[in-house]
Amino acid sequence: MMVEEKEETVTKTMPELRNTRNIGIIAHIDAGKTTLTERILYHTGKIYKIGNVDEGTTTTDWMEQEQERGITITSAAITCFWKNKKFNIIDTPGHVDFTIEVERSLKVLDGTVVVFCGVAGVQPQSETVWRQADRYGVPKIAFINKLDRVGSDYFKAIGEIHHKLGANAQPVEIPIGHESNFNGVIDLIHMKAYEYEGEGTESKLKEIPIPDNMKDKASHYRHNLIVKTAEADEEAMDKYVHDGGIYPHQLKQYIRRATIRNRFVPVFCGAAFRNKGVEFILDGIADFLPSPLDIPPVKGINVETHKEEKREVDPDESLCALAFKIMADPFVGKLIFVRIYSGKLKMGEYVYNPAKDTEERVGKIVRMHADKQQIIQEASAGDIVAVVGLKKTTTGDTICEEEKPILIEKIHFPDPVISMAIEPSTKADQDKLAKALKKMEEEDPSFKVSFNPDTAQTLINGMGELHLEVTITRIEREFDVKANIGKPHVAYKETIKKKVDSTGKFIQQTGGRGQYGHVEIKLEPAQKGEGIIFESKIKGGQIPREFISSIEEGITDAAKSGVLAGYPVTDIKATLYDGSFHEVDSSDIAFKMAASIALQNGLKKASSVLMEPIMDLEVTTPEEYLGNVLGDLNSRRAKIESIDQRGNSKILRSLVPLAEMFGYATVMRSLTQGRATYTMEPSFYQEVPGNIAEKLIQGEV
């Protein structure tokens, strides 16, 4: 990574904050996110030569594997300027295996551009990233890309956004021309038409009269835009009902307000690869997406009072920042990406991490430009920067001042669904592999390393085959480690079906001091996705308070290995309601062991079942191969959800167990002569059928 030895001091004012946009670019794989980002950087003067994804020369896909594979693997941050507005842009991956990069980016962003393919419309991962943005309340604008392609349909894509995503998405511009003849846009807010002259970087925008054959269409869609904006904004409705006329500057203001409130999604059109429509999306980011001052103050818990607090977006407030990403850098060590919500972060000062209850020194602050760094002395509210020197800080940790501690809600990370055994090729690689795995785990919260005591194997766990494949290649290249890899395995889980009471006793008497721990717990099923919930209802002096955390730890540790086939236990609630202690012999370890025994005993009584990950699969196949694809999916325990038509292709949506999908790409290529494509993402966990569960328990699978 290159470091530009240039320093700057920043004192941020409110007008500067008003002109800042922290935005992400999100989409399904291959919708054109990175291509759009590259064009944005070109138009804002950040780069002077446009890179190409297929050639591996784009700015934000700087990682070697991204250039080789032509996909985005890690989110890249970059800063650029457009018409007195400062954009901090994060380009995120589209492949579902790297969805954690989207998740943690959305947690810290104020707005997002969702890119859709004009041919494919709303695809499975489009839905996933849209829901992720909804979960964090991030305002959105949409960009329908690739309108120069055969089969593209701008209005059909908008219809799918309405139907599949339930969004109030309305075009603020419509295309002039169709497919290869797409050559301009009509701005519905100002009712002006623009045409492109020339191609690529030579392309120039020229204002033209609205074509006669499009005047009625433009009037219809402008009227529709006003009506839909009025439905989303009370002032606009009042103006529309009583006045009838809304001026362009007012319409723009109403659209901005409705967008920031997540009641409206402005839709733009273009063909990023041909450099068409990019200026309008830049204007859209500036006009409609929020500045840090437009979003609600960040909320957190005061670790001393345990009460909720707010921090205003103000450089003069006390410091509050969230570490959302960690990256290993060969030159400076660990880079911690942080979003600053309030206050200032200064080089050389100490900051407090309430989650780790530790104080650390900020060694260096850098503004990131993909893989290049610009050293700055200070960053403040509204900034996204990287920090060097925070050794104990991990993803999701809050950074603040010790005098005013606050803890922001952590980022939601999905559980891994696939695992592989890994071992060093030689004794010499053993230590290097351990260090590499530790660094990869720090960087990527969706990548987990575990040890199976039964087989004495180290297991790496991730979100899919590609995720683990990319991670293994990085370990080999970046850390110079040679490793042997086992076959991929499904990450099964265990849960319970009924409520039970369970007792755990750990009593040992030796010559000297003994061990005594006794707990009574109630086990019951929890909601899907809740994991392990522990609650203590101990009153009085049944068990001293200092042992409660050890009991919780014992239950959590025991849940890592279930009673059926050793898979982790999930979605259970354990309530501690009784027990006893010995004044001399009771200890933390005794109660930890007692809790572990209680959980194991309870699982045996509570009708434990195995759960398997179910994937949401979408296959796009030429019509003549539909029978072959359906027949194969039926043999894989798939449940067909829908079959739709898109041009000459059939779009088949189904739910299928991950265990049945290893090697599917090869099989599908042979079934369809290489003409079908598919995407797959984790959807939910479901009980394993009895006959398969029996084989898993007996170790036959």
**Higher pLDDT pick, 74 / 135:** 135
DSSP 295: S
Lowest-confidence region among 19-23, 123-127, 224-228, 331-335: 331-335
Report how far residue 277's alpha carbon sits from residue 282's, in angstroms, rounded to the nearest whole number: 9
| CATH class, 21-294 region | alpha beta
Mean pLDDT of 8-36: 73
- List beta partners, residue 408: 300
Determine which helix (DSSP H) or strand (DSSP E) holds 46, and give its type and residue range.
Answer: none
| CATH class, 418-491 region | alpha beta
pLDDT, one tens digit per residue, over 568-580 is 899 999 999 989 9
User: Which region holds residue 226: left if phi is over 0, alpha if psi is between -120 and 50, else beta?
Assistant: alpha
- Which pLDDT belongs to residue 598? 93
**Higher pLDDT pick, 5 / 436:** 436
Q: How far is CA 234 from CA 239, 240, 258, 490, in A?
A: 9, 10, 10, 51
Report how far residue 345's alpha carbon sits from residue 338's, in angstroms, rounded to the nearest whole number: 10
- Which pLDDT belongs to residue 70? 44
Same fold, 418-491 and 613-697: yes
Phi, then psi, of 496 in degrees rounded to 5: -115, 160
pLDDT, one tens digit per residue, over 641-679 is 989 887 778 889 999 998 888 878 788 888 888 778 787
pTM above 0.75, yes or no: no
How many whole angstroms from its chain centre is CA 494? Answer: 26
CB 318 within 8 A of CB 359: no
SS3 682: strand
pLDDT, one tens digit per residue, over 501-559 is 999 999 887 666 788 999 999 999 988 878 899 998 887 778 888 889 899 999 999 99
In degrees, rounded to 5, the angle at the alpha carbon of residue 378 between the alpha carbons of residues 376 and 384 is 80
Predicted confidence band of residue 255 (pLDDT cuts 50, 70, 90): very high
Is the model's pLDDT at 57 over the cut of 70? no
In SS3 terms, 65-121 reads as HHHHHCCCCCCEEEEEEECCEEEEEEECCCCHHHHHHHHHHHHHCCEEEEEEECCCE
Predicted confidence band of residue 10 (pLDDT cuts 50, 70, 90): very low
- Which pLDDT belongs to residue 617? 86
**In this structure, are strands 320-329 and 448-452 parallel, antiparallel, or unpaired?**
unpaired
Superfamily of domain 298-408 in CATH is Translation factors (2.40.30.10)
Is the model's pLDDT at 437 over the cut of 90? no
DSSP 174: E
Predicted confidence band of residue 8 (pLDDT cuts 50, 70, 90): very low
Query: Which residues are CB-neighbours of 428 under 8 A, at least 6 positions away?
Result: none
- CA 477, 478, 480, 486 dihedral sign is negative
Question: Which range has the top average pLDDT, 63-72, 446-455, 626-635?
Answer: 626-635
**In this structure, are strands 500-508 and 320-329 parallel, antiparallel, or unpaired?**
unpaired
CB 492 within 8 A of CB 699: no
Domain ranges of the chain: 21-294, 298-408, 418-491, 494-607, 613-697
Report how far residue 405's alpha carbon sits from residue 356's, in angstroms, rounded to the nearest whole number: 12
Mean pLDDT of 117-125: 83
Mean pLDDT of 620-638: 90
pLDDT, one tens digit per residue, over 408-429 is 877 777 777 788 888 888 887 8
Report how far residue 44's alpha carbon sits from residue 46's, in angstroms, rounded to the nearest whole number: 6
Of 532, 616, 570, give the one whose Cα is nearest residue 164.
Answer: 616
- Which pLDDT belongs to residue 637? 92
- Which pLDDT belongs to residue 695? 83
CB 397 within 8 A of CB 323: yes
**Higher pLDDT pick, 371 / 193:** 193
- List beta partners, residue 320: 342, 400
Report how far residue 76's alpha carbon sits from residue 98's, in angstroms, rounded to the nearest whole number: 13
Is the model's pLDDT at 6 over the cut of 60? no
Residue type, 267: V
CB 87 within 8 A of CB 44: yes
Determine which helix (DSSP H) or strand (DSSP E) holds 139, and give its type and residue range.
Answer: none
Query: Which residues are CB-neighbours of 241 under 8 A, at least 6 positions away?
Result: 230
- Which pLDDT belongs to residue 370? 55
Yes or no: domain 494-607 corresponds to CATH 3.65.10.10: no
Mean pLDDT of the chain: 82
| CATH class, 613-697 region | alpha beta
What is the DSSP secondary-structure string of 400-447? EBTTB--EEPPPP-PPP-EEEEEEESSGGGHHHHHHHHHHHHHH-TT-
**Higher pLDDT pick, 468 / 454:** 468
